[in-house]
Amino acid sequence: MPKNKKSDNAGIDILPSLLSSVYGLILGCSIYLSSCHIREISTILYKVWTENSIGYNCLFLIIPFIILTLGIGEIHKNKYMETYKGEKPGFEFQKALLPCFLLLPFFFMEFAVYTPLAFLIVWTICVFRVVAIWPGNIFLKWRGGNGINLSLIFLAVFVAIIYGVLFQEKMFSSLYLDYWDWGVFLNVIDNTLKGKWFFSNALERNFLGEHFQPGTIFLLAPYVYFFRSITAFFILNPFFLNIGAPLIYLLAVRKGISNGQALVLAFVFLLCPSIANMCPAIFYGFHMVYIVIPCILLFFLLYEMKYFKTALLIFLFSLTIKETVPVFWVGLGVVFILMGKRKSGIFIFIVSMIYYLLIAKVLMPSIPGYYGLMYRYEHFGRTYSDILLSPVTKPDVFFGSLFRYQNIYLLIMLLSPVMMAVCNFPILLLSGAITYLFICLQGSPDGTTNFVQYQAEIVSIIYICSIYGYAKIKDSQGPLYSIFLAGLKKKGGLVFPENSIRQAVLIATVCSSFSSFYFFSVECFYGKNSHPSLCFSWPDVDKEVEKLKTLIPEGSTLSATSHIAGHFVLRNDTFLARGTKPREYILMDLADLLIDNKDFENFRRRVLLSDKYNLHYYGMEKGHSWLMLKRETKKAFPDVLKRMSNEQWDLIGMPIKLENPDFKGRIICENKNKLLLLYIRLEQKVDYDVFIRVNIFEGAGDKLLHYEQMFPFGCGFRPAYTAEKGDVFTLNIPVDLEEFSGISVRLDKRPEPDPGLAPF
């Protein structure tokens, strides 16, 4: 009998170890797939790129995780027996990791954006459950006072600012950063300083009719006056985004959270992917609405400190940051009323509503122009009434827009870093509901991403909500915690003590924040966000831009394409190359991705056909095709087209396939394939232009690589619609490849300009 009993005990001891090994296997696989199999994640396109196959290197992650899970299980067992005087813990540790099985279906599904989100959520729940049942106290005693803690936070903020500035500088020097929107804001502030109040060169009218932001313009005007450089302006972007960290710390301390835990929560804020991603804002850069983030945080801090008059001033100023900000305050007023803060809530609601109606219905319509955001909701109608009634009048359009998958993904991405703390005080999230609704209902899902500025108010309230939720643990624990802890019990009863939940929430929040940072943040350079690798793959063109500046006198008026315009915003009176008013100098980068529209093609055609503009410079450098014209007596353009008969054409090289029947192509390889001569011949008269896209291939099989280059027909100043039948444009393409293996050519048809528009 004793022998059998010993055998039974051994079997009981083996089962927890076996379960722990299975959990380690599942967790190890998920970590491997996240770190090695997922190559890149785009939260702009909501796409995931993976490696072609799963390699044997997965064993180097999976086996250590099995060992790690077994080790943590043994540590828990020993800690439990030590705390409770030899009593065995049973299967509590193994039950805590039961949510791991939720990961299994995702191993066999196609990888998409939901995959890392699912991994992140399950990891967080598992960490929360394990820490909640852990015997004793996990927290280390942090003795740092407010001075030390704030110094550490400001040091981290300084590092984030440096990274943000360098990131913007890289985008700027490679012409990845567009003139919209940062350049528009800087230009409006600069014009205001020069006496052209609120005038926007890009819009060629009063900017306040587009976005009503007088408060931010006046706030930033002194800074721009004293620090007149692009780099100085770039500092504002990460500064306003990250300066919320010390405010988060002070708010947490004010809510009764210990200094050490408040310090952790401040660093959690700095790990927020949205805070990092709004710095590049895809390629739009700084937005003045970012100032609302520290304003909202400061309002809550002052409100908790009972400095109501100062909080009122912050609230009133924030209304002037942007015309959409009052919508957030309307929601917060309602939430304050629901929370029992009736006087504050009613006041905030009424003032915000009156201000919003005043600017939306009176002030902005009185300014010439068209409200910049209304076009995003044109699928509902042309008026506010159409939008409000759309759930009834256009339910298919309304609910189709509301429940797009991008809206759901974005909401989960925003909440996931601090989801455990937020779920203990979710009512505060309702204040951002109206703002989020307007994000969801836009005609295009392009704005539904954690890169753009529309989320600024929502991010602020989510992290404030996390502070309130974490502080509330000492008074009550939300019902969601009971769901997350289903099947578990603490020694002595089913109720988990405050310290256990507090530990579990904080450590799980750190886990979810690091996971979100790794998956979705541009600041995690070795993470999975695809944006840094995309930005840093573009070559710098600083020297080329400096050469262009020598050809354009400082202070002269300039029309420029969007990506190059930002380099002249403080140097010249810079407008965009479009519309009906070309300036003294015109600078076009025909490789700019934002010129594929009829407005630009009309502008280019009217300039090229004008007798008032002469070709000043043209050239191809590092993938950019420059075309510069100056207002002066026109001279004959260089002869870049050559007329060829059919007989002459047939004697050149060998034919290359073109999909466009209006053109034919031939190619000659010279100097041992180090130089390609590409000939493009017009077969019949056309009314449009083409850009020549050349793909050069190197290697073969799995090692096949291709390099794409774009060339405007006729160097840009002799577009195809100015050529005649039989005209040939020749490209000399140097090839610096070890193993040239082929070439393909595609002609991109440009928007057809209006021939009825007279030259400038």
Show which of 476, 500, 532 is a domain's final residue: 476
Distance CA 77, CA 55 (A): 35
In a domain, 487, yes or no: no
Residue numbers of the domain that contains 152? 146-323+325-372+404-476
In a domain, 65, yes or no: yes
CB contact at 8 A, 583 and 615: no
pLDDT tens-digit series, residues 53-85: 776 667 777 888 899 899 998 888 888 887 777
CB contact at 8 A, 608 and 585: no
Distance CA 426, CA 711 (A): 54
Mean pLDDT confidence for 604-622 = 95
585 and 666 belong to one structural domain: no
pLDDT value of position 704: 55
366 and 424 belong to one structural domain: yes
In a domain, 502, yes or no: no
In a domain, 530, yes or no: no
What confidence tier does 389 reach under pLDDT thresholds 50, 70, 90?
A: confident
Distance CA 354, CA 315 (A): 14
pLDDT value of position 674: 78
pLDDT tens-digit series, residues 627-684: 999 999 999 999 999 999 999 999 999 999 999 999 999 999 887 777 889 999 999 9
What confidence tier does 1 reach under pLDDT thresholds 50, 70, 90?
A: very low
pLDDT tens-digit series, residues 503-533: 999 999 999 999 999 999 998 878 899 888 8
Percent over 90 (pLDDT), the chain: 73
Residue matched to tokens 């260089």: 638
Pairwise pLDDT comparison (679 vs 52), residue with the higher score: 679
305 and 248 belong to one structural domain: yes
Query: Residue 607 corresponds to which amino acid?
Result: V
What confidence tier does 11 reach under pLDDT thresholds 50, 70, 90?
A: very low
CB contact at 8 A, 28 and 66: yes
CB contact at 8 A, 743 and 667: yes
CB contact at 8 A, 107 and 33: yes
Show which of 476, 506, 526 is a domain's final residue: 476
The whole-angstrom distance between residue 568's C-alpha and the CA centroid of its chain comes to 25
Show which of 77, 110, 133 is a domain's final residue: 133
pLDDT value of position 492: 53
77 and 171 belong to one structural domain: no
What confidence tier does 8 reach under pLDDT thresholds 50, 70, 90?
A: very low
In a domain, 141, yes or no: no
Residues facing residue 625 across a β-bridge: 620
How many domains are contained in the chain? 4
pLDDT tens-digit series, residues 235-274: 999 999 999 999 999 999 999 999 999 999 999 999 999 9
Residue 10 pLDDT greater than 80, yes or no: no
107 and 177 belong to one structural domain: no
Q: Is 200 helix (H, G, I), strand (E, B) or coil?
A: strand
613 and 737 belong to one structural domain: no
What confidence tier does 5 reach under pLDDT thresholds 50, 70, 90?
A: very low
Query: Residue 670 corresponds to which amino acid?
Result: E
- Token pair listed for 199: 């005038």
pLDDT tens-digit series, residues 124-143: 999 999 999 988 788 777 87
CB contact at 8 A, 612 and 631: yes
Residue 464's closest CA among 622, 350, 297? 297
Query: Residue 438 corresponds to which amino acid?
Result: F
Give me the chain's average pLDDT, please. Answer: 91
662 and 603 belong to one structural domain: no
Strands 199-200 and 205-206: antiparallel
167 and 125 belong to one structural domain: no
Mean pLDDT confidence for 153-172 = 97
What confidence tier does 493 reach under pLDDT thresholds 50, 70, 90?
A: low
Strands 557-560 and 573-576: parallel
In a domain, 491, yes or no: no
Residue 3 pLDDT greater than 80, yes or no: no
